[in-house]
Structure 1
Amino acid sequence: MTEEYDYIIVGAGTAGCVLANRLTEDGKYSVLLLEAGGSDRSIWIQMPIGYGRTFFDKRINWMYDTAPVEALGGRQSYWPRGKVVGGSGSINAMVYVRGQPRDFDDWKALGNAGWGWDDVLPYFKKSEDFDWHSAHHGQGGPQHVTDISPFAHPICRSFIEAAQTLGFAASNDLNGGKPEGVGYYQINTRGGWRASTANAFLHPARKRKTLKLKTMAHATRILFEGRRAVGVAYTCKGAQLEAKARREVILSGGAINSPQLLMLSGIGDASHLKNVGIEPIVDAKAVGRNLQDHIAVSYFYKVRTPTLNDVLHPFVGKIRAGLRYMADRAGPLSLSVNQSGGFVRSDATQKHPNLQLYFSPVSYTKTPLSERKLLNPDPFSAFLLSHNPCRPTSRGHIELACADPAKYPVIHPNYLATQADIDDVLAGNRLLKQIARTKPLADIITEELIPGAHVDGDEALLADFRARADTVYHPTSTCMMGPDAATSVVDVRLRVHGVDGLRVIDASVFPTITSGNTNAPTVMVAEKGAAMILEDAKSMR
Structure 2
Amino acid sequence: MDLYISPLFRLILVATFIFHDSCSSDKAGYYSFLKDATSAPTLSHFDYIIIGGGTAGSALAATLSQNATVLVLERGGSPYDNPAATDIGNFANTLINITDLNSWSQLFISEDGVFNTRARVLGGGTVLNAGFYSRAEDEFVEAAYEWVEKKLVFEPQIKGWQTAFIDGLLEAGVTPYNGFTYEHIYGTKVGGTIFDRDGHRHTAADLLEYANPNTIVVYLHASVHKILFTTKGNSRPKAYGVIFQDANGVFHTAELTVQDARSEVILSAGAIASPQLLMLSGVGPAAHLAVHGVNPIILDHPMVGQGMGDNPMHPVFIPSPKPVEVSLVQVVGIPNFASYIEGGSGLSLSISLTRTFFNGVLDLLNKLKFPSQSISKLLKSLDLGLNVTTQAGVIIQKVSGPLSRGHLELRNTNPDDNPSVTFNYYQDPEDLNNCVKGLSAIINVIDSKGYSSYKYPGVNGRGLLNLILALPINLRPRHITSTFDLKQYCMDTTMTIYHYHGGCQVGKVVDNDYKVLGIDALRVIDASTFLKSPGTNPQATIMMLGRYMGQKILREREAF
TMscore range, shorter length:
0.7 to 0.9
Matched position secondary structure for 1:263: helix
Question: Secondary structure of the equivalent of 1:476?
Answer: coil
Of 72, 77, 83, the residue aligned with 1:43 is 83
Residue in structure 1 matched with residue 406 of structure 2 by the alignment = 396
Could you say what secondary structure the match of 1:508 adopts?
helix
Summarize deviations over 1:245-303 as a string: whole Å, max 9, x none: 12100111000011111000011111111111113211111111111111111112223
Is residue 220 from structure 1 mapped to residue 249 from structure 2 by the alignment? no
Distance 1:364 1:39, change over 3 A: closer
Residues 105, 120 of structure 2: 8 Å contact kept: yes
Query: 1:72 aligns to what?
Result: none
2:505–2:530 contact (8 Å) kept in structure 1: yes
Within the candidate set 182, 185, 188, 2:191 is matched to 185
Letter of the 1:185 counterpart: G
Matching residue within 411, 419, 426 for 2:421: 411
CA contact (8 A) 2:312 2:495 kept: yes
What is the TM-score when the length of structure 2 is the normalising length?
A: 0.76
Query: Is the contact between residue 358 and residue 387 of structure 1 (CA under 8 Å) also seen in structure 2?
Result: yes
Aligned counterpart for 1:208 among listed residues 206, 213, 216: 213
Q: What's 1:171 paired with? A: 178
Q: 1:43 to 1:262 in 2, by over 3 A?
A: same
Is 1:467 the counterpart of 2:492 in the alignment?
yes
Question: Aligned residue for 2:144?
Answer: 123
Distance 1:215 1:366 in 2: 30
Which of the numbers 507, 519, 525 marks the counterpart of 1:505? 525
**For 1:154, which of 157, 160, 164 is the aligned residue?**
160
Residue of structure 1 equivalent to 2:341: 357
Work out whether residues 229 and 500 of structure 1, in 8 Å CA contact, stay in contact via their aligned partners in 2.
yes
What does residue 253 of structure 2 align with? 242
Deviation at 1:453, TM superposition (A): 9.6
What residue is the counterpart of 2:270 in the other structure?
Answer: 254
In the alignment, the residues of structure 2 paired with residue 98 and residue 90 of structure 1 have an alpha-carbon distance, to the nearest angstrom, of 18
* Contact 2:433–2:487 under 8 Å retained in 1: no
Cα 1:56–1:414 shift into 2, 3 Å: same
1:169 is displaced (CA, Å) by 1.4
In structure 2, distance between residues paired with 1:458 and 1:144: 48
Structure 1 residues 7, 389: closer, same or farther in 2, change over 3 A? same
* Residue number among 524, 537, 540 corresponding to 2:557 in the alignment: 537
Q: Secondary structure at the match of 2:289?
A: helix
Unaligned runs of 5+ in 1: 70-75, 106-116, 130-142, 309-331, 346-352, 483-487
Instruction: Give distance in 2, aligned partners of 1:407 and 1:454.
Output: 30
- AA aligned to 1:253 is A
Question: % of aligned pairs identical?
Answer: 27
Q: What corresponds to 1:430 in structure 2?
A: 440
Q: Which residue of 1 aligns with 2:7?
A: none
Aligned AA (1:23): L
- Letter paired with 1:217: A
Q: Which amino acid aligns with 1:189?
A: F
Write the distance in 2 (CA, Å) between the matches of 1:169 and 1:458. 35
Change (3 A) 1:79 1:273: same
Output the amino acid matched with 2:160: P
CA contact (8 A) 1:426 1:458 kept: no
> For the residues of structure 1 that align with 2:187 and 2:421, how far apart are their CA atoms?
33
Matched, 1:63 2:106: yes
Instruction: Find the partner of 1:83 among 97, 120, 127.
Output: 120
Distance in 1 between residues matched to 2:341 and 2:455, nearest whole Å: 18
Which moves more between the two structures, 430-439 or 229-238?
430-439
Residues 1:417 and 1:243: Cα distance change in structure 2 (over 3 Å)? same
Give the conservation status (yes or no) of the 8 Å contact 2:348–2:390.
no
User: Given that residues 48 and 93 in structure 1 are in contact (C-alpha distance below 8 angstroms), is that contact kept between their aligned partners in structure 2?
Assistant: no
Deviation at 1:162, TM superposition (A): 2.1
Structure-to-structure mapping, 1:275-424, within 5 angstroms: 275-279=291-295, 280-308=297-325, 332=326, 336-345=327-336, 353-362=337-346, 370-371=354-355, 379=389, 381-424=391-434
SS at 2:118 equivalent: coil
Give CA-to-partner distance per residue, 1:140-167, whole Å, 9 cap, x none: xxx231111xx23312212211222233
Letter in 1 for 2:416: A
2: CA distance, partners of 1:410 / 1:64: 13
Equivalent-residue separation in structure 1 for 2:105 and 2:256 (angstroms): 27
Contact 1:90 1:196 in 2 (8 A): yes
Asked if structure 2 preserves the Cα contact closer than 8 Å seen for 1:277 and 1:402, the reply is: no
In structure 2, C-alpha distance between the alignment counterparts of 1:94 and 1:249, rounded to whole Å: 30
Matches within 5 A, 1:429-468: 429-446=439-456, 447-448=459-460, 450-452=464-466, 459-468=484-493
**Residue equivalent to 2:383:** none
Distance in 1 between residues matched to 2:196 and 2:89, nearest whole Å:
13
Give the distance between the partners of 1:202 and 1:155, measured in 2 at CA: 35
**Which ranges in structure 2 are unaligned for 5 or more consecutive residues?**
1-41, 232-236, 258-262, 358-386, 470-480
Query: How far 1:217 moved relative to its partner?
Result: 0.7
Q: Secondary structure at the match of 2:445?
A: helix
In structure 2, the partner of 1:489 is 509
Q: What secondary structure does 1:146 align onto?
A: coil
Closer, same or farther: CA 268–454 of 1 in aligned 2, 3 Å: closer
1:208 alignment partner, SS class: coil
The CA deviation at 1:382 is: 2.2
Residues in 1 aligned to 2:299 and 2:544: alpha-carbon distance in whole angstroms:
29
Letter matched to residue 385 of structure 1: I
CA distance in 2: counterparts of 1:38 and 1:410, whole angstroms: 25
Shift in Å, 1:358: 0.9
Alignment deviations for residues 213-245 of structure 1 (CA, whole Å, 9 cap, x no partner): 111110000011110000000101211110101
Normalised to the residue count of structure 1, the TM-score between the two structures is 0.79
